[in-house]
Protein backbone atom coordinates (compact mmCIF):
# COMPACT_ATOMS: atom_id res chain seq x y z
CA UNK A 1 0.00 0.00 0.00
CA UNK A 2 1.18 3.52 -0.61
CA UNK A 3 0.44 7.07 0.37
CA UNK A 4 -0.03 9.81 -2.16
CA UNK A 5 0.42 13.39 -1.09
CA UNK A 6 -0.42 16.57 -3.00
CA UNK A 7 1.04 19.77 -1.61
CA UNK A 8 -0.25 23.10 -2.85
CA UNK A 9 -0.69 21.95 -6.43
CA UNK A 10 -1.49 24.67 -8.95
CA UNK A 11 -1.96 24.38 -12.70
CA UNK A 12 -2.07 27.42 -14.94
CA UNK A 13 -2.68 26.81 -18.64
CA UNK A 14 -1.44 29.24 -21.26
CA UNK A 15 0.58 32.39 -20.91
CA UNK A 16 -0.04 35.72 -19.19
CA UNK A 17 -2.80 37.21 -21.35
CA UNK A 18 -4.73 33.99 -21.81
CA UNK A 19 -3.67 32.33 -18.58
CA UNK A 20 -6.26 30.00 -17.07
CA UNK A 21 -5.83 28.78 -13.52
CA UNK A 22 -7.46 25.34 -13.66
CA UNK A 23 -6.28 24.06 -10.27
CA UNK A 24 -5.47 26.35 -7.38
CA UNK A 25 -3.17 25.43 -4.54
CA UNK A 26 -4.70 22.05 -3.73
CA UNK A 27 -3.46 20.02 -0.80
CA UNK A 28 -4.67 16.47 -0.17
CA UNK A 29 -3.53 13.05 1.03
CA UNK A 30 -4.68 9.64 -0.22
CA UNK A 31 -4.37 6.22 1.39
CA UNK A 32 -6.24 3.07 0.36
CA UNK A 33 -9.95 3.54 -0.27
CA UNK A 34 -12.30 5.00 -2.85
CA UNK A 35 -12.18 8.77 -3.37
CA UNK A 36 -15.00 10.38 -5.31
CA UNK A 37 -14.03 13.59 -7.06
CA UNK A 38 -17.27 15.46 -7.71
CA UNK A 39 -17.46 18.62 -9.73
CA UNK A 40 -19.24 20.35 -12.58
CA UNK A 41 -17.80 20.74 -16.10
CA UNK A 42 -14.57 22.71 -16.01
CA UNK A 43 -14.07 22.33 -12.22
CA UNK A 44 -10.53 20.99 -12.80
CA UNK A 45 -11.02 17.24 -12.26
CA UNK A 46 -9.21 16.07 -15.40
CA UNK A 47 -6.39 18.56 -14.87
CA UNK A 48 -5.88 17.29 -11.33
CA UNK A 49 -5.91 13.65 -12.44
CA UNK A 50 -3.47 14.27 -15.28
CA UNK A 51 -1.08 15.81 -12.75
CA UNK A 52 -1.50 12.83 -10.42
CA UNK A 53 -0.63 10.37 -13.21
CA UNK A 54 2.31 12.55 -14.24
CA UNK A 55 1.16 13.48 -17.78
CA UNK A 56 0.87 17.12 -16.78
CA UNK A 57 3.44 18.96 -14.73
CA UNK A 58 2.03 21.20 -11.99
CA UNK A 59 2.89 24.88 -12.41
CA UNK A 60 3.54 24.90 -8.68
CA UNK A 61 3.48 22.42 -5.85
CA UNK A 62 4.59 18.86 -5.34
CA UNK A 63 3.17 15.35 -5.62
CA UNK A 64 4.85 12.62 -3.62
CA UNK A 65 4.34 8.87 -3.28
CA UNK A 66 5.51 7.53 0.08
CA UNK A 67 7.37 10.77 0.59
CA UNK A 68 9.30 10.76 -2.72
CA UNK A 69 8.43 13.19 -5.55
CA UNK A 70 6.76 11.25 -8.38
CA UNK A 71 9.09 12.85 -10.98
CA UNK A 72 11.99 11.30 -9.14
CA UNK A 73 10.31 7.88 -8.98
CA UNK A 74 9.77 7.78 -12.77
CA UNK A 75 9.09 4.22 -13.98
CA UNK A 76 8.66 2.86 -10.46
CA UNK A 77 5.73 5.22 -9.98
CA UNK A 78 4.25 4.46 -13.41
CA UNK A 79 4.22 0.75 -12.52
CA UNK A 80 2.00 1.56 -9.54
CA UNK A 81 -0.52 3.41 -11.70
CA UNK A 82 -3.62 2.42 -13.60
CA UNK A 83 -5.35 5.16 -15.56
CA UNK A 84 -8.57 5.46 -17.51
CA UNK A 85 -8.49 8.83 -19.31
CA UNK A 86 -11.72 10.73 -19.93
CA UNK A 87 -11.04 10.68 -23.68
CA UNK A 88 -9.93 7.05 -23.72
CA UNK A 89 -8.90 6.17 -27.28
CA UNK A 90 -9.16 2.65 -28.60
CA UNK A 91 -8.23 0.66 -31.65
CA UNK A 92 -11.50 0.05 -33.51
CA UNK A 93 -10.28 -2.91 -35.55
CA UNK A 94 -8.80 -4.73 -32.55
CA UNK A 95 -10.78 -7.43 -30.78
CA UNK A 96 -11.16 -6.96 -27.01
CA UNK A 97 -8.56 -9.71 -26.44
CA UNK A 98 -6.07 -8.26 -28.88
CA UNK A 99 -6.47 -4.82 -27.38
CA UNK A 100 -5.76 -6.03 -23.84
CA UNK A 101 -2.79 -8.07 -25.06
CA UNK A 102 -1.47 -4.99 -26.81
CA UNK A 103 -1.90 -2.83 -23.69
CA UNK A 104 -0.22 -5.55 -21.59
CA UNK A 105 2.76 -5.48 -23.96
CA UNK A 106 2.95 -1.68 -23.68
CA UNK A 107 3.03 -2.04 -19.92
CA UNK A 108 5.80 -4.65 -20.33
CA UNK A 109 3.88 -7.42 -18.55
CA UNK A 110 5.25 -10.96 -18.77
CA UNK A 111 3.17 -12.65 -21.54
CA UNK A 112 2.29 -15.70 -19.41
CA UNK A 113 1.19 -13.57 -16.48
CA UNK A 114 -0.69 -11.28 -18.87
CA UNK A 115 -2.63 -14.21 -20.39
CA UNK A 116 -4.13 -15.25 -17.04
CA UNK A 117 -4.63 -11.69 -15.95
CA UNK A 118 -6.54 -10.81 -19.11
CA UNK A 119 -8.87 -13.79 -18.69
CA UNK A 120 -9.51 -12.78 -15.08
CA UNK A 121 -10.18 -9.18 -16.04
CA UNK A 122 -12.55 -10.10 -18.87
CA UNK A 123 -14.56 -11.98 -16.25
CA UNK A 124 -14.40 -9.06 -13.76
CA UNK A 125 -15.77 -6.55 -16.24
CA UNK A 126 -18.24 -9.03 -17.75
CA UNK A 127 -16.81 -9.14 -21.26
CA UNK A 128 -15.74 -12.79 -21.52
CA UNK A 129 -18.38 -13.58 -24.13
CA UNK A 130 -17.48 -10.51 -26.17
CA UNK A 131 -13.72 -11.16 -26.01
CA UNK A 132 -13.34 -11.86 -29.73
CA UNK A 133 -15.56 -9.06 -30.95
CA UNK A 134 -13.99 -6.01 -32.54
CA UNK A 135 -14.07 -2.89 -30.39
CA UNK A 136 -15.90 -0.97 -33.12
CA UNK A 137 -18.94 -3.18 -32.43
CA UNK A 138 -18.91 -2.37 -28.68
CA UNK A 139 -21.49 -0.14 -26.97
CA UNK A 140 -20.31 2.93 -25.01
CA UNK A 141 -20.69 1.02 -21.76
CA UNK A 142 -18.67 -1.95 -23.03
CA UNK A 143 -15.89 0.41 -24.11
CA UNK A 144 -15.79 1.97 -20.63
CA UNK A 145 -15.52 -1.52 -19.17
CA UNK A 146 -12.65 -2.51 -21.46
CA UNK A 147 -11.07 0.82 -20.47
CA UNK A 148 -11.33 -0.12 -16.80
CA UNK A 149 -9.87 -3.56 -17.60
CA UNK A 150 -6.80 -2.06 -19.32
CA UNK A 151 -6.26 0.23 -16.32
CA UNK A 152 -6.19 -2.83 -14.06
CA UNK A 153 -3.74 -4.94 -16.12
CA UNK A 154 -0.70 -4.22 -13.97
CA UNK A 155 -2.60 -4.64 -10.67
CA UNK A 156 -2.10 -0.96 -9.88
CA UNK A 157 -1.82 0.33 -6.34
CA UNK A 158 -3.16 3.69 -7.52
CA UNK A 159 -6.13 3.63 -9.86
CA UNK A 160 -7.25 6.86 -11.51
CA UNK A 161 -10.58 6.76 -13.36
CA UNK A 162 -11.70 9.91 -15.14
CA UNK A 163 -15.48 9.81 -15.64
CA UNK A 164 -15.58 6.02 -15.77
CA UNK A 165 -19.37 5.91 -15.79
CA UNK A 166 -19.96 8.22 -18.76
CA UNK A 167 -22.39 6.48 -21.08
CA UNK A 168 -23.20 3.57 -18.77
CA UNK A 169 -26.82 2.46 -18.44
CA UNK A 170 -28.30 1.94 -14.93
CA UNK A 171 -27.53 -1.80 -14.89
CA UNK A 172 -23.95 -1.18 -15.94
CA UNK A 173 -23.63 1.52 -13.28
CA UNK A 174 -24.53 -1.00 -10.59
CA UNK A 175 -22.00 -3.49 -11.96
CA UNK A 176 -19.38 -0.77 -12.10
CA UNK A 177 -20.04 0.31 -8.49
CA UNK A 178 -19.56 -3.24 -7.29
CA UNK A 179 -16.27 -3.58 -9.17
CA UNK A 180 -14.92 -0.30 -7.78
CA UNK A 181 -15.99 -1.04 -4.20
CA UNK A 182 -14.03 -4.27 -4.25
CA UNK A 183 -10.97 -2.58 -5.78
CA UNK A 184 -10.81 0.11 -3.09
CA UNK A 185 -10.03 -2.40 -0.33
CA UNK A 186 -6.29 -2.47 -0.87
CA UNK A 187 -5.45 0.41 -3.17
CA UNK A 188 -6.11 4.07 -3.82
CA UNK A 189 -9.00 4.55 -6.24
CA UNK A 190 -9.74 8.10 -7.35
CA UNK A 191 -12.70 8.52 -9.66
CA UNK A 192 -14.19 11.67 -11.07
CA UNK A 193 -17.81 12.21 -11.99
CA UNK A 194 -20.55 14.78 -11.92
CA UNK A 195 -23.12 12.11 -11.18
CA UNK A 196 -23.63 12.11 -7.43
CA UNK A 197 -25.18 8.64 -7.24
CA UNK A 198 -22.02 7.10 -8.72
CA UNK A 199 -20.05 7.90 -5.60
CA UNK A 200 -22.82 8.07 -3.01
CA UNK A 201 -22.61 4.41 -1.98
CA UNK A 202 -19.02 3.52 -2.69
CA UNK A 203 -16.75 6.48 -1.93
CA UNK A 204 -15.03 6.42 1.46
CA UNK A 205 -14.08 10.04 0.91
CA UNK A 206 -15.82 12.62 -1.24
CA UNK A 207 -14.04 15.66 -2.61
CA UNK A 208 -16.25 18.38 -4.03
CA UNK A 209 -14.34 20.48 -6.51
CA UNK A 210 -15.35 23.91 -7.79
CA UNK A 211 -13.28 26.39 -9.83
CA UNK A 212 -10.05 24.48 -9.19
CA UNK A 213 -10.35 24.11 -5.41
CA UNK A 214 -11.89 21.62 -3.01
CA UNK A 215 -14.92 23.30 -1.46
CA UNK A 216 -15.42 20.38 0.90
CA UNK A 217 -13.76 17.00 1.48
CA UNK A 218 -14.58 14.21 3.89
CA UNK A 219 -16.76 11.20 4.51
CA UNK A 220 -20.34 11.39 3.39
CA UNK A 221 -21.41 12.23 6.96
CA UNK A 222 -18.87 15.06 7.12
CA UNK A 223 -20.03 16.42 3.77
CA UNK A 224 -23.67 16.33 4.89
CA UNK A 225 -23.11 17.90 8.31
CA UNK A 226 -23.14 21.61 7.32
CA UNK A 227 -26.16 20.99 5.08
CA UNK A 228 -28.43 19.87 7.95
CA UNK A 229 -31.30 22.34 8.32
CA UNK A 230 -30.78 23.67 4.79
CA UNK A 231 -32.96 21.22 2.87
CA UNK A 232 -36.70 21.86 2.65
CA UNK A 233 -39.74 20.20 1.23
CA UNK A 234 -42.98 21.94 0.35
CA UNK A 235 -46.08 21.31 -1.72
CA UNK A 236 -47.28 24.42 -3.53
CA UNK A 237 -49.45 25.41 -6.50
CA UNK A 238 -47.78 25.36 -9.92
CA UNK A 239 -47.31 29.14 -10.13
CA UNK A 240 -45.62 29.36 -6.72
CA UNK A 241 -43.45 26.40 -7.71
CA UNK A 242 -42.27 28.22 -10.82
CA UNK A 243 -41.36 31.27 -8.71
CA UNK A 244 -39.49 29.19 -6.12
CA UNK A 245 -37.75 27.20 -8.84
CA UNK A 246 -36.39 30.41 -10.34
CA UNK A 247 -35.31 31.85 -6.97
CA UNK A 248 -33.78 28.78 -5.24
CA UNK A 249 -31.62 25.73 -5.84
CA UNK A 250 -34.18 22.98 -6.38
CA UNK A 251 -32.87 19.44 -6.01
CA UNK A 252 -36.13 17.78 -6.93
CA UNK A 253 -39.49 18.75 -8.36
CA UNK A 254 -42.46 16.45 -8.67
CA UNK A 255 -45.95 17.09 -9.96
CA UNK A 256 -48.46 15.73 -7.44
CA UNK A 257 -51.42 13.70 -8.58
CA UNK A 258 -53.65 15.09 -5.80
CA UNK A 259 -55.06 18.55 -6.43
CA UNK A 260 -55.02 21.27 -3.79
CA UNK A 261 -58.20 22.51 -2.16
CA UNK A 262 -57.24 25.86 -0.71
CA UNK A 263 -55.66 27.39 -3.79
CA UNK A 264 -58.62 27.09 -6.10
CA UNK A 265 -60.51 24.07 -7.27
CA UNK A 266 -58.32 21.72 -9.23
CA UNK A 267 -55.14 23.79 -9.04
CA UNK A 268 -52.26 21.38 -9.73
CA UNK A 269 -49.77 21.02 -6.88
CA UNK A 270 -46.03 20.55 -7.11
CA UNK A 271 -43.72 19.07 -4.50
CA UNK A 272 -40.36 20.83 -4.30
CA UNK A 273 -37.14 19.88 -2.56
CA UNK A 274 -35.17 23.06 -2.02
CA UNK A 275 -31.62 23.67 -0.79
CA UNK A 276 -31.50 26.98 1.01
CA UNK A 277 -30.02 28.41 4.20
CA UNK A 278 -33.30 30.29 4.84
CA UNK A 279 -36.78 28.85 4.91
CA UNK A 280 -37.92 29.34 1.31
CA UNK A 281 -41.69 29.27 1.93
CA UNK A 282 -43.93 29.50 5.03
CA UNK A 283 -45.20 25.97 4.42
CA UNK A 284 -41.75 24.43 3.94
CA UNK A 285 -40.52 21.76 6.38
CA UNK A 286 -36.88 20.84 6.97
CA UNK A 287 -35.85 17.35 5.80
CA UNK A 288 -32.65 15.30 6.11
CA UNK A 289 -30.07 16.10 3.43
CA UNK A 290 -28.73 13.54 0.96
CA UNK A 291 -25.52 13.89 -1.05
CA UNK A 292 -27.31 15.35 -4.05
CA UNK A 293 -28.55 18.22 -1.84
CA UNK A 294 -25.05 18.73 -0.44
CA UNK A 295 -23.60 18.97 -3.93
CA UNK A 296 -26.10 21.73 -4.74
CA UNK A 297 -25.43 23.41 -1.40
CA UNK A 298 -21.70 23.72 -2.08
CA UNK A 299 -22.48 25.06 -5.53
CA UNK A 300 -24.85 27.74 -4.19
N1 LIG B 1 -5.15 22.41 -22.44
C2 LIG B 1 -5.84 23.41 -21.90
N3 LIG B 1 -5.58 24.70 -22.20
C4 LIG B 1 -6.25 25.72 -21.64
N5 LIG B 1 -7.25 25.55 -20.76
C6 LIG B 1 -7.59 24.29 -20.41
C7 LIG B 1 -6.91 23.15 -20.96
N8 LIG B 1 -7.44 22.02 -20.44
C9 LIG B 1 -8.42 22.46 -19.60
N10 LIG B 1 -8.50 23.80 -19.58
C11 LIG B 1 -9.42 24.61 -18.76
O12 LIG B 1 -9.17 24.32 -17.40
C13 LIG B 1 -10.39 24.23 -16.66
C14 LIG B 1 -10.50 22.87 -16.01
O15 LIG B 1 -10.66 21.89 -17.03
P16 LIG B 1 -10.77 20.33 -16.73
O17 LIG B 1 -10.82 19.62 -18.02
O18 LIG B 1 -9.69 19.96 -15.79
O19 LIG B 1 -12.18 20.25 -15.96
P20 LIG B 1 -13.10 18.99 -15.63
O21 LIG B 1 -13.55 19.17 -14.22
O22 LIG B 1 -12.38 17.74 -15.96
O23 LIG B 1 -14.35 19.20 -16.60
P24 LIG B 1 -15.30 18.10 -17.32
O25 LIG B 1 -16.30 17.66 -16.27
O26 LIG B 1 -15.95 18.87 -18.41
O27 LIG B 1 -14.45 16.99 -17.82
C28 LIG B 1 -11.51 24.55 -17.65
O29 LIG B 1 -11.83 25.91 -17.54
C30 LIG B 1 -10.88 24.25 -19.00
O31 LIG B 1 -11.46 25.05 -19.99
MG1 LIG C 1 -12.79 16.19 -17.17
Pocket of ligand 1 contains residue 44 by CB under 6 Å: yes
Q: State pLDDT tens for residues 193-220.
A: 988 988 888 899 999 999 999 999 999 9
Phi then psi for 275, rounded to 5 degrees? -105, 115
- The average pLDDT across 94-123 equals 94
- Angle at CA 121, nearest 5°, toward 138 and 99? 50
- pLDDT band of residue 18 (cuts 50, 70, 90) is confident
Cβ neighbourhood burial of 169 (10 Å; 0-12, 13-18, 19+) = exposed
**What percent of the chain stands above pLDDT 70?**
97
The pLDDT score that the predictor gives to residue 179 is: 84
Atom 5 of ligand 1, nearest CA residue:
13
Q: From the CB of 46, is ligand 1 less than 6 Å away?
A: yes
- What residue segments make up the domains of the chain, in order of their start? 4-218, 226-298
pLDDT in tens, 37-54: 999 999 999 999 999 999
Q: Provide the pLDDT confidence category of residue 70 given band limits of 50, 70 and 90.
A: very high
Provide the mean pLDDT of the chain: 92
CB distance 2 to 158 below 8 Å? yes
Q: How far away, in angstroms, is 95 Cα from ligand 2 center? A: 27
Q: Pick 4-218's CATH classification: 3.40.50.12780, 3.40.50.300, 3.40.50.12640, 1.20.1250.20.
A: 3.40.50.300
Q: Are 199 and 36 in contact (CB under 8 A)?
A: yes
3-state secondary structure the chain: CCCEEEEEEEEEECCHHHCEEEEEEEEEEECCEEEEEEECCCCCHHHHHHHHCCCCCCCEEEEEECCEEHHHHCHHHHHHEEEECCCCCCCCCCEHHHHHHHHHHHCCCCHHHHHHHHHHHHHHCCCHHHCCCEHHHCCHHHHHHHHHHHHHCCCCCEEEEECCCCCCCHHHHHHHHHHHHHHCCCCEEEEEECCHHHHHCCCCEEEEEECCEEEEEECHHHHHHHHCCCEEEEEEEHHHHHHHHHHCEEEEEEECCCCECCCCCCECEEEEEEECCCCCCCCCEECCCCHHHHHHHHCC
Q: Is there an atom of ligand 1 within 6 Å of 52 CB? A: no
Amino acid sequence: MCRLELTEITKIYGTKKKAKQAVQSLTAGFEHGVYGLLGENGAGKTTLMRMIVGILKPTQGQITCDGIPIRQLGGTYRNLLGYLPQDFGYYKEFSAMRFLNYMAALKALDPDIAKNRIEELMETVGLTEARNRKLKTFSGGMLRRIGIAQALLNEPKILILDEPTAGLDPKERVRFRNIISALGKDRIVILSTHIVSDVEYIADQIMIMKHGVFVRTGTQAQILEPVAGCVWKCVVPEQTAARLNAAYAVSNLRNCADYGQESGVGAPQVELRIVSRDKPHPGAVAVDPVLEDAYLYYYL
